[in-house]
Chain A
Amino acid sequence: MLHLKDLVHVYSNGVRALDGVTLQIPTGMFGLLGPNGAGKSSLMRCIATLQTPTEGSIGFGDIDCLSTPHKLREKLGYLPQDFGVYPRISAYAMLDHLAILKGISERGQRKEMVDGLLEQVNLWSVRTKALAGFSGGMRQRFGIAQALLGNPKLIIVDEPTAGLDPEERNRFLNLLAGIGEDVVVILSTHIVEDVTDLCPKMAILAGGQIRQEGSPQELISALRGRIWKKTIERAHLDAYKTRYRLISQRLFAGKTIIHIASDKDPGEGFESVAGGLEDLYFMTIHPDERVA
Chain B
Amino acid sequence: MAAPQVTLVAGANVHKNAPMAIAPVLMTLTTFFMFVTTAFGANVFIRDQETGFGPLLYTTHIHRSDYVLGRTLGAFLVCALCLLSVPFGLILGSFMPWLDKETLGPFRLFDYLYPYLFLALPSVLFMVAIFSTAATLTRSMMGSYLTALALLVVYFTLSALSGKSDVFREIYAWLDPFGIGAIAKVTRYWTAEESNNLMPPLAGVILGNRLLVMGLAIGLIATNLGLLRFEATGQLPKTRTRLWACVSRHRPFQIVSHPDGQFQVSARTWQFSYVGRVLKRHRFLPGQSILS
Q: Quick one: which of A12, A53, A69, A86 contacts B47, CB cutoff 8 A?
A: A86
Q: Chain A: residues with CB nearer than 8 A to chain B?
A: 8-14, 16-17, 19, 45, 48-55, 69-70, 73-74, 76-78, 80, 82-87, 98, 101-103, 143, 146, 150
Closest chain-A Cβ to B205's Cβ sits at a distance in Å of 44
Closest chain-A Cβ to B13's Cβ sits at a distance in Å of 52
Closest chain-B Cβ to A4's Cβ sits at a distance in Å of 16
The verdict on B288 contacting chain A, using a C-beta distance below 8 Å, is no
CA distance A100 to B60 in the complex (A): 9
Q: Quick one: which of A9, A83, A86 contacts B55, CB cutoff 8 A?
A: A83
The verdict on B85 contacting chain A, using a C-beta distance below 8 Å, is no
Binary A-proximity of B225-258 (CB < 8 A = 1, otherwise 0): 0000011111110000000000000000000110
The answer on a CB contact under 8 Å between A87 and B56 is no
CA distance A146 to B60 in the complex (A): 10
Set of chain B residues within 8 Å of A78, measured between Cβ atoms: 55-56, 59
The verdict on B63 contacting chain A, using a C-beta distance below 8 Å, is yes
Set of chain B residues within 8 Å of A17, measured between Cβ atoms: 234
The verdict on B204 contacting chain A, using a C-beta distance below 8 Å, is no
The answer on a CB contact under 8 Å between A84 and B235 is no
The verdict on B62 contacting chain A, using a C-beta distance below 8 Å, is yes
CA distance A49 to B60 in the complex (A): 11
Q: B28-60: which have CB < 8 Å to A?
A: 47, 50-53, 55-60
The answer on a CB contact under 8 Å between B53 and A83 is yes
Q: Nearest residue in B to A158 (C-beta to C-beta)?
A: B55
Q: List the 8 closest A-B pairs by CB distance, nearest first.
A: A84-B52, A101-B60, A84-B51, A10-B235, A80-B55, A78-B59, A103-B61, A52-B231
Closest chain-A Cβ to B230's Cβ sits at a distance in Å of 7
Closest chain-A Cβ to B44's Cβ sits at a distance in Å of 12
Given contacts A50-B231, A55-B257, A80 and B61 within 8 Å (CB-CB) = no
CA distance A84 to B257 in the complex (A): 33
CA distance A9 to B235 in the complex (A): 8
CA distance A98 to B59 in the complex (A): 10
CA distance A12 to B257 in the complex (A): 13
The answer on a CB contact under 8 Å between A73 and B59 is yes
Q: Nearest residue in A to B255 (C-beta to C-beta)?
A: A55
Set of chain B residues within 8 Å of A101, measured between Cβ atoms: 57, 60-62
Closest chain-A Cβ to B69's Cβ sits at a distance in Å of 15
Q: Quick one: which of A16, A50, A150 contacts B259, CB cutoff 8 A?
A: A16
Interface SS, B side: loop
Set of chain B residues within 8 Å of A19, measured between Cβ atoms: 259
CA distance A19 to B236 in the complex (A): 16
Given contacts A10-B257, A50-B58, A74-B61, A85 and B235 within 8 Å (CB-CB) = no
The answer on a CB contact under 8 Å between B235 and A83 is no
The answer on a CB contact under 8 Å between A11 and B234 is yes
CA distance A286 to B35 in the complex (A): 56
Q: Nearest residue in A to B67 (C-beta to C-beta)?
A: A101
Known: A9-B234, A52-B233. 18 other contacts (CB 8 A): A19-B259, A49-B230, A49-B231, A50-B55, A50-B231, A52-B231, A52-B234, A54-B234, A54-B257, A69-B231, A73-B59, A78-B56, A84-B53, A86-B51, A86-B53, A101-B60, A101-B62, A146-B56
Q: B246-278: which have CB < 8 Å to A?
A: 256-257, 259, 261
The answer on a CB contact under 8 Å between B234 and A12 is yes
Set of chain A residues within 8 Å of B230, measured between Cβ atoms: 49-50, 69
The answer on a CB contact under 8 Å between B55 and A55 is no
Set of chain A residues within 8 Å of B56, measured between Cβ atoms: 78, 80, 83, 98, 143, 146
CA distance A55 to B233 in the complex (A): 11
Given contacts A14-B235, A51-B231, A98 and B60 within 8 Å (CB-CB) = yes
Set of chain B residues within 8 Å of A9, measured between Cβ atoms: 234
CA distance A51 to B231 in the complex (A): 5
The answer on a CB contact under 8 Å between A8 and B257 is yes
CA distance A8 to B63 in the complex (A): 26
The answer on a CB contact under 8 Å between A52 and B232 is yes
Set of chain A residues within 8 Å of B52, measured between Cβ atoms: 82-85
CA distance A146 to B259 in the complex (A): 38
Closest chain-B Cβ to A19's Cβ sits at a distance in Å of 8
15 A–B contacts from the bound complex (CB under 8 Å): A45-B55, A49-B59, A49-B230, A51-B232, A51-B233, A52-B231, A52-B232, A52-B234, A54-B235, A54-B257, A69-B231, A83-B52, A84-B53, A101-B60, A150-B61
CA distance A17 to B53 in the complex (A): 23
CA distance A10 to B262 in the complex (A): 11
